[in-house]
């Protein structure tokens, strides 16, 4: 079946540090890939997405590139802020399924950014 694996957390960084959160997936074909963010006390928000190989999703300074050859979708940001402290989830929708159906999530990575 489909699965998503994220790097183990939690991750603690100082403000303006470089961030990488690793995400790899197992799925047939060409799934769509997503990063969601959950701020304290809130639901999940879509951060970025990519729907085909070599696509780069970007939003709010975050980027992730769909790498079919390594089945990865690592999240990066060049300079994190305290306000980026949140839980980040990598997720996929299987190839060929309709919009939003059966999102499969990774375990989530807690990011804490200290001033």
Partner 1 sequence: DVKVTQSSRYLVKRTGEKVFLECVQDMDHENMFWYRQDPGLGLRLIYFSYDVKMKEKGDIPEGYSVSREKKERFSLILESASTNQTSMYLCASSGGSPWGNTIYFGEGSWLTVV
Cβ distance to partner 1 smaller for residue 34 or 77: 34
Cβ distance to partner 1 smaller for residue 92 or 113: 92
Cβ distance to partner 1 smaller for residue 17 or 112: 112
Cβ distance to partner 1 smaller for residue 44 or 113: 44
C-alpha torsion angle, residues 74, 77, 78, 82 (rounded to 10)? -140
Among 17, 67, 72, 105, interactor with partner 1 by CB under 8 A: 105
| Least separation in angstroms between CB 79 and partner 1 | 26
Tell me the site size for partner 1, rule CB under 8 A: 26
Q: Which long-range contacts (CB under 8 A, 24 or more apart) does 20-23 make?
A: 20/74, 20/75, 20/76, 21/74, 21/75, 21/76, 21/88, 21/90, 21/109, 21/111, 22/72, 22/74, 23/64, 23/72, 23/73, 23/74, 23/75, 23/90, 23/106
Is residue 82 classed as helix, strand or coil in its secondary structure?
A: helix
Among 80, 93, 111, 113, interactor with partner 1 by CB under 8 A: 93
Q: Report the interface residues with partner 1, using CB under 8 A.
A: 4, 32, 36, 41-46, 49, 51, 89, 91, 93, 97-108
């Amino acid at each position: 079946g489909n699965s998503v694996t994220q790097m183990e957390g939690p991750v603690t960084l100082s403000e303006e540090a470089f961030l990488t959160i690793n995400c790899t997936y197992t799925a047939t074909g060409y799934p769509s890939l997503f990063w969601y963010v959950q701020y304290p006390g809130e639901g999940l928000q879509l951060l970025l997405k990519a729907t085909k190989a070599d696509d780069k999703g970007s939003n709010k300074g975050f980027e992730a590139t769909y790498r079919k050859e390594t089945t990865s979708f690592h999240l990066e940001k060049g300079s994190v802020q305290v306000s980026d402290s949140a839980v980040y989830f990598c997720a996929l929708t299987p190839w060929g399924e309709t919009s939003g159906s059966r999102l499969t999530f990774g375990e989530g990575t807690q990011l804490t950014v200290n001033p």
